[in-house]
Structure formats: C-alpha cells, structure tokens
Amino acid sequence: MPIKIENLFYTYLRKTPNSSEALKGVSLEIPNNSFAAFIGRTGSGKSTLIQTLNALLLPTSGEVHVDDFVVTSNKRKNKNIKGLRKHLSIVFQFPEYQLFEETVEKDVAFGLKNFGYKEQDALKEAHKALESVGLGPKFYQKSPFELSGGEKRRVAIAGILALSPDILVLDEPTAGLDVKGTEDIMSLVKKMHDDGKTIIVVTHDMELVMEYCNLVFLLKDGKLVYQGTPDLLFDQINESSAIEIPPLYKLAKLLKDRGANIDIQSIKCVDDLVNQITRKGNKDE
C-alpha cells in the first residue's frame, strides 16, 4: 500500500483565535497504480489533505505513510523529506503562476537543479519532460509568458514530471481550461498512469471522475464521507447533493432501470455506452 493515512487532523493557525480545523480524523488507503480523486465542496479540506502527503503541511496529529516515508507532527520523525518530494510530487492549482524563469527549458530544469543535477544534465532531462507533454524544441527558448494558458500548464507539469515521481498529485489540473485543453491535460495524465504511476487528482469535475478514476474520496467539512468506485458514489447521492451526477451516468442508469442489460461500472465515456448497446443489439439479431 503506497499511501496510508491514519486519523489525520490538521488545524490552521493553531492556538490563535482564528484557528480552523480543516481535517478531522481522516483515515484512508490508496493502493498502488490507483487513479484516485478527492472531491467535495469548496473548503472541505482537499488541498489541505494532499499537502500533507509530501510534508508541505505537517499533521496536527495522525500519520501519513507514503511507501517507506512517514509524515507526522514530529519533525524529527520525518526523515528524508527531499526524497519524499521526489517520490510524490504535487502540481498545484494554476501551476502556471509559478513559472518564473526566462525560458521554458530553464523553468523545467529548475527543480532538477534543486535536486543536485548539473546544468547540462538538468537541461537534457527537461527536454525529455517537455517532449512527453507534447512541447518540442521550438518551445525550449521561448519565454513562459509568451505561451497560451494550456501550454503554460503543460510546462508546469513538465517541471514536475522531470523529477520522475512515482506518485503524481494534481490539484484541479483542468480548472480554467476549455474542453480541448482539458482533454490534452487528461490524456497526458492518463498516459502517466498507463506508464505505471499512481495518480491522485483533486477535482470538481464529475465527468472527469467518471471517465478516468477508479477510486474516489469524498470529503465533507474535513471528514471522509465516502470512499469507493465512482459509479457507487453516483448511485448513492441524491439530486439535492452538491455533487453533480454526470449526464452519461444518469442516462446509463435510466437505460438499465428500463431493462437494458448494461454494466454501468465499465462505462467511462459515451463510446462505452454505445458499444454496450450495439453489442447487445447485435446479439439479439
């Protein structure tokens, strides 16, 4: 089990009149090679939780285990934080705002140099990472500020990919992108998952959850209120919930309720539903 969270509490501004308890006893496990999502209303604790995973925030109490690394409230117990951050890296919401070097290649190489790479080696790795996000040599010397929003985000993701983490955490990776930008980023993330990485996303987009994720965690006021597959989640929530059930799920459920022989769990996109219906139709002929 690469990630195990045990009774995690986190309080901001502890021991001040403004203190706020963002996580209230969360326990969960994320198996290897998962494509997991954290969902929940704004302020439910999603970003707080993921920042404890690589010790950007230390628990107020409780423990986080990531493979052989441990994150606790006790700094002395948290060994090799640098190694942990290379093993599990986080792409923040709107990471493009963190681009600051004068060229794209320097920006991607920056993190590597922090991990002790020499300039030339860092650039070589940066080029590989840029290639993998679909940005070829003509982008190397450009200023990050000349790029489109989607390209900037890809540069920011390349900066994290260059570190070749085994676990990649993305906080709202598609926020603010159009349909094409969303597809580009998600097919990139899917490729990393296919390559064997564990993926964790924070998102408000339930269609994204349905299409890509095999495990979903719902937070409510700092507590975990659901963990399981997306289809069972959509099955449990009612129309008045803050979670928007994807139209594709609703349609598949409706067809199933009317007697169609449909395996909802395996439906990720419209084509899956079409294939199931036509396959059944062919069989009946």
Residues contributing to the site for ligand ATP (CB under 6 A): 12-13, 20, 22, 40, 42-48
- Considering the complex, what minimum distance in angstroms separates the CB of residue 23 from ligand ATP? 8
| Phi, psi (degrees; rounded to nearest 5) at 159 | -60, -35
- Considering the complex, what minimum distance in angstroms separates the CB of residue 92 from Mg ion? 9
- Considering the complex, what minimum distance in angstroms separates the CB of residue 235 from ligand ATP? 23
Q: Which does 42 bind (CB under 5 to 8 A by kind): ligand ATP, Mg ion, none?
A: ligand ATP
Nearer to ligand ATP, 204 or 253 (CB): 204
Mark the segment that binds Mg ion (CB under 5 A) among 42-50, 55-63, 119-127, 206-214: 42-50
Nearer to Mg ion, 28 or 255 (CB): 28
- Considering the complex, what minimum distance in angstroms separates the CB of residue 249 from Mg ion? 24
Amino acid at 159: G
Show the beta-strand stretches assigned E in the chain: 3-12, 20-30, 35-39, 61-66, 69-71, 88-91, 167-171, 198-202, 215-220, 223-228
Q: Which of 167, 168, 266, 275 is nearest to 211 (CA)?
A: 266
Nearer to ligand ATP, 13 or 179 (CB): 13
| Phi, psi (degrees; rounded to nearest 5) at 15 | 60, 30
Residue 245 three-state SS: coil
Buried-exposed string 91-116: b where 16+ CB fall within 10 A, e elsewhere: bbeebbeebeeeebbbbbbbbbeeee
User: If binding means CB under 5 A, how many residues of this protein chain bind Mg ion?
Assistant: 1
With beta carbons less than 8 A apart as the criterion, state whether 158 and 125 touch: no
Other C-beta atoms lying within 10 Å of the C-beta of residue 120: 9
Nearer to ligand ATP, 22 or 26 (CB): 22
Question: Measured between alpha carbons, how far is 87 from 45 in angstroms, rounded to an integer?
Answer: 23
- Considering the complex, what minimum distance in angstroms separates the CB of residue 209 from ligand ATP? 14
- Considering the complex, what minimum distance in angstroms separates the CB of residue 43 from Mg ion? 8
Mark the segment that binds Mg ion (CB under 5 A) among 45-53, 61-69, 110-118, 213-221: 45-53
Q: Which does 144 bind (CB under 5 to 8 A by kind): ligand ATP, Mg ion, none?
A: none
Residue at shortest CB range from Mg ion: 47
Q: Does 47 bind Mg ion (CB under 5 A)?
A: yes
Crossing angle for the helix pair 119-132 and 149-161, nearest 10 degrees?
Answer: 130
Binding-site ranges for Mg ion (CB under 5 A): 47
